[in-house]
Structure formats: structure tokens, C-alpha cells
Amino acid sequence: MLLALSQAAHEVQKAVTPTEIFNTVGEKFSRLNLHVAIFDLLEDGTQLSVRYLTIDRSLVQEAEQIAGISTEDFRYPLTEGDFYHQVVHRGEAAIHGRPVEMMAAGMPEDRGESAHLVAAKLGLKYAIAAPLVVGGTTIGLLEIIGEMLTEADLPAVMTFAGQISTALENAKLQERAQAYAAQLERRVADLNALNALASAVNESLDADEITQRALQEAVRMSEADAAGLMLFDKQAGVAVLVDEWGTGGEIPISVRSVQLSEGLTRQLLEKKELIVVSQRSDYQGSLHGFLEQETISSFVIIPLVSRNGMTGALYVGSSEPDHFDDQAVDLLTGLGRQLAIGIEKARLHQAVSASEERYRSLFDGVPVALFRSTPTGEILDVNQAAVELLGFQDRETMLRSSTLSLYPDAAARSVWLSAMEEHGVVHDHEMQLKRVDGEFIFVRIRSQGVRDSNGQIVHIDGMAEDITKQKRLQERLRYLGYHDALTGLYNRGFFEEELQRHERGRQFPISLIIADIDDLKVINDNLGHAQGDDVLQRAAKLLSSVLRADDIVARIGGDEFAVILPRTNAEQADFVLKRIEDRLKFSNLEPEKIPLCLSFGVATAEKGASLRETLNQADVSMYRDKRIQKGDQESDAPETGR
């Protein structure tokens, strides 16, 4: 309750009108399943009427039919000693649990017996009432209605009622100020020039333009001789004379700044209200700018007030004594108000523009892609590096696009968003993106979510680093780590790992084939290594073309190849070898190619057998095949071992 009241109080202070105040209160309490009723204390102080009610309108209408009276006509009589009477006259919050009694008191006599039905229909059970006091006078009551209210909530509700009272008082003052402004506007409706100036001041963001027009119009509409503007620099302790204008045009200013502690500036800051001098002789302080001229007999100084306090002054002078009547002063006051607004807007615009320019310069100058997007994929902002990274034509084109089109894998984006939702910040998250031209790139993302008051992520700020080259280099290194650069087959290292893995696996029987190119050294020595490389590549291609997808073929030596055939018995292995030999014979029919001569060995391991020993058996078989092809009975290679 206390937290909700604190949050509601903060929002209430920002409300401008009573209606906004009441709606803010109702919205906050509806989230707590509480209802709010606000009563006005009628002028005679004997009755309360309903000003605002958050209970569902359809329920209220049903209750009105039961009660025989509308909410607008409902009047609760304040009688000595009853609940509401005590709240009003003691000025303290109180709690009651008598909804039927309270309802019956405000109903017609012939309908009082239906009070319990009305209370039940509206869900009334417990209520805390607190007085609303404005300017020391109780103007009504705040009542919070719910099922879980206790006396422990009284202090918080009393404090909250005080904050509502302050907001209502401020709203009342605001209404008075608006009424006065409207009255003034009606009085000067015939002065279209002032309206035109006010519009120009509101629309222009150029401080010099605003100042020039305001000074000229001040001289014209008050029929004065000159007008000037000074702005306060409180940090430096000086008032800067910005510009002066007279009937003869712009007036050169000899001294640009004066101390705030001197003359009229000091008086203006101390009094904090406009200064009207009808006779020059009546003013004994020092004067500045054109007011120093002896020809000036009367003058008016209008303070310029903005949200930051008094920021300067508009001063207007005339050669005639008693020149400025109430109407002229009112017009100049209105002009000063518009001028203050215009100058403040111009300053804010200048500051914001400078800040945005610095931000945009830094934002676009960063060589890393920066972005802001929503969880749904809308792109809110990007820098030039992001535009170039993803291949868009320009920033505007990218802002009209959706990030959803950039993710080839929607699941990867979901993983990232889930991490954002859980942690709020994600570091070094790698994912693949698709450029506009269709090229796939890899990025490393660092991002942070920005949440609303409900804890929901409204947008994500982040940076994306292009790591495509790094990824491709890693993939290339990984490929080279397991492949032979010349043939593209797996290398000896990968073959050894696979041999160990299959030995521990369940894919027995496993057959191994050893293939060796005959006379490769002769080819290299006589025809060149280019021809030898071509022979190696042809052999690799031939072996790969015959094998299954899950078979493994590797180059394990200079002229030697090895094949792992999972789930292949001896008979099946012989069939595979027969296919290789047939393909070899067919390949050698091409006359322009050097004949490809291969010797083969094959061995099969049943479950539990050593694949290393099986490899040795295949090696021995290969050397036997090589001897047979050469017609030799002796071998220059060992029969066992590698």
C-alpha cells in the first residue's frame, strides 16, 4: 500500500487539472483491486456529493436503479458524531466497515432498506476516508474502498490525501492563471500584432529573431521610445545587455554587462516583480543602457521568468512621464511572458541540437556497428558502421526495415532475446546474420535492454562486431587440422582419432582398406611433381566416389590411403574393393592420362578385436598385392608392423 501510494503521489504531482489528478489516482488504485471515491463538501458544509468514482459504471447503474437515485444526485448528510462528520471536523483519516449504514444514510427514506443490496452490488466492505484540505479549508473527502484495508493504512492514506490536496491547490492556481491569461487575451484581442508576435515567438527557435521582433513590437504597441533585453548570468554575477531597439532603429550598446548587485537589476531580483517608474525623478538607483539617457522620463521593467526562475528582464522607456497605464503594462507583461518562453525554447533547442550533433557525430564516428531496436524487430536507430556492415543503401532505408529479415536462424535470435530478458545484458553473443545482398556474416553482439516501469524491455541498445574473417579463419584452420591440403581427404591425424573412436564404438564388424600408389616416386622424378600431384588427386577422387557417406577415407602417407568401413564384414569389404578396382580399370581407359596403379590390402575386425592390429593386417595384405602385381615372390617391406 505504502509503495503504491508513493508512486501514485509522484504521478499526481505531475497532473495539471483535477480530472487528471482523479484519473491518475483511480488508475493506480485499480491495479491494487481498490476503488476510490472522491466527495465534494458542499458550500453549506452539511452534505457530501460524489465527485469521482472508480467503480465500474455498469455496476453503478445497477446500484442506482436499486437505490432509486443517481450518483450525481446522491447526497450524504453530515450529522453530529457520524463517521464522515468526524473525518471532516477532526481532520484525520478513519476506517469503517459499515457500508450498509453509510449507504442508507444518503438514500431516499423509502429505499433505505435496499442499502445492503447496493453495498453488495458495489462490493463495498471496508473504507478509509481522509479529508482533502486546500488553503486551510476542507473541500471534500478521499475514500479508498477495499476488502483488505486496516488501521495500519491510515497514516499513509492521510499523507496521500494531503498530497492530493496540494495537487488540487496547484491545479486551482493553474486554473486561475489560465483564467487570467484568457481574460488578458480577450482584452487584447483587437491587437492582432501581439497575437502574431506570440505565434512567431512560439514557432521560432532563433533567439536573435525572437528578441528583435519582441523589442520592435514592445515599442510599437506601447507607443514608447525604446525597448531592451537583458539576460542574467547568475553564475558570473552579471546581467548581459543583449539588444536595444528604438523608434529610430537598433541602438548601439556601449556597455554590454553590469553587475547583478547594481541598480535596477538588484531591485528586480529582490522584489521579484515588475518595476514601473512613472517619473524618472522618483527612481534613485543607477540605470543601464538607453535608460541612462535624460530623455527617458518613465519606464517599465518586466522580469522574464522561466522554469529556472528569473532569467532576465525586458525594459521599455518613454520620453513622456506617466506614459505606461495598466493596459500597456499588462500588454508588456504578456509580451515578456512570451519572450521568456521563446528565449528558453531557443536555448533548449540550441542545447539539444548541440547535444544531438555531438551524439550523432560520436555515434556515427564509431567504427563498430551500433544499433537500437525493439524486441519485436523494429529498428529505432543505427550508425553508419551498422549500415555498411549489413549492406543497406543508407540509414533511412535500414530504419524502414526489420531486424527479423537479418536472421537466417530465427531460433538463434530467440536464444539471444531470452538471454536479454533474463539477464538484461548480454556479452559476446555470436550469431550469424544475412546481409541485404544475401551474404552471410558472423557478428559478436554486446547488448543491453532498457525496461519500462513494468520491467518490460522496450528497446535494446547494442553493438555488433564483424567476426566473419575470424570465423572463416577458424573454420579454415579447423579444416586444415583434419584434412590433407592436396587431396581434400582427411589427414593422418584425423584417421588415427577415428580409428580409436571406432575401436571404442559399436559399429563392428569394421573393415579397413589400405591403398598405395605404385611408382609415385618414378612419376615425380621423371614427369615432375605436378604430374605426381595429379595422380594423388585422381586416386583420392576415385576412392571417394565409391564409398558411402559414413565411410572414412584418408591420406595417411605420401602415396598411401586408408579407408574405414563401419558395419562392414569381410565379404562386404571384398565387394567394396572389387568396385574400387573396377572403377580404377575404367579410369585408366583415358589415353591422355598417366595410368593409375594402386595396390590394395583389406582386413576385417570383429567386435573386441584391435583395429591397430587389423590395420597392420591390411598393410601386409597390401604389400602382398604389390608383390603379386610386380610378379615378385620376395618383399622389400616388413610383413608386420607399420
Report if residue 497 sits inside a domain. Answer: yes
pLDDT tens, residue by residue, 492-518:
999 999 999 999 999 999 999 999 999
Domain boundary among 350, 378, 399: 350
- The answer to whether residues 499 and 426 belong to one domain is no
- The answer to whether residues 113 and 158 belong to one domain is yes
- What CATH number is given to the structural domain containing 619? 3.30.70.270
Report if residue 188 sits inside a domain. Answer: no
Report if residue 635 sits inside a domain. Answer: no
For residue 50, is pLDDT > 70?
A: yes
Report if residue 597 sits inside a domain. Answer: yes
- The answer to whether residues 71 and 30 belong to one domain is yes
Percent of the residues in the chain that have a pLDDT greater than 90, as a whole number = 32
What pLDDT, on the 0 to 100 scale, is given for residue 1?
63
- The answer to whether residues 558 and 609 belong to one domain is yes
- The answer to whether residues 508 and 616 belong to one domain is yes
| pLDDT band at residue 636 using 50, 70 and 90 as cut-offs | very low
- DSSP letters spanning 167-204: HHHHHHHHHHHHHHHHHHHHHTTT-HHHHHHHHHHHH-
Report if residue 477 sits inside a domain. Answer: no
- The answer to whether residues 212 and 237 belong to one domain is yes
Structural domain boundaries enclosing 227: 202-350
What pLDDT, on the 0 to 100 scale, is given for residue 67?
63
3-state secondary structure of 452: coil
Domain boundary among 295, 323, 350: 350
- Of 203, 243, 239, 207, nearest to 227 (Cα)? 243
Report the chain's C-alpha Rg in angstroms: 46
Identify the residue with better confidence: 191 or 574: 574
Report if residue 309 sits inside a domain. Answer: yes
- What CATH number is given to the structural domain containing 411? 3.30.450.20
- The answer to whether residues 220 and 314 belong to one domain is yes
Q: Is residue 307 within 8 Å of 340, Cβ to Cβ?
A: no
Report if residue 500 sits inside a domain. Answer: yes
- The answer to whether residues 378 and 405 belong to one domain is yes
What pLDDT, on the 0 to 100 scale, is given for residue 19?
82
- The answer to whether residues 216 and 164 belong to one domain is no
CA-CA distances (angstroms) from residue 193 to 211, 213, 337, 564, 618?
15, 11, 16, 97, 108
CA-CA distance, 64 to 58, in Å (whole number)?
A: 10
pLDDT tens, residue by residue, 355-390:
777 777 777 778 889 999 999 989 999 999 999 999
- The answer to whether residues 20 and 120 belong to one domain is yes
Identify the residue with better confidence: 101 or 353: 353
In 10 A of CB 502, how many CB atoms?
19
- The answer to whether residues 343 and 376 belong to one domain is no
What pLDDT, on the 0 to 100 scale, is given for residue 600?
96
In 10 A of CB 571, how many CB atoms?
9
Domain boundary among 324, 350, 376: 350
* Prediction pTM value: 0.40
Q: How many domains does the chain have?
A: 4
- The answer to whether residues 9 and 135 belong to one domain is yes
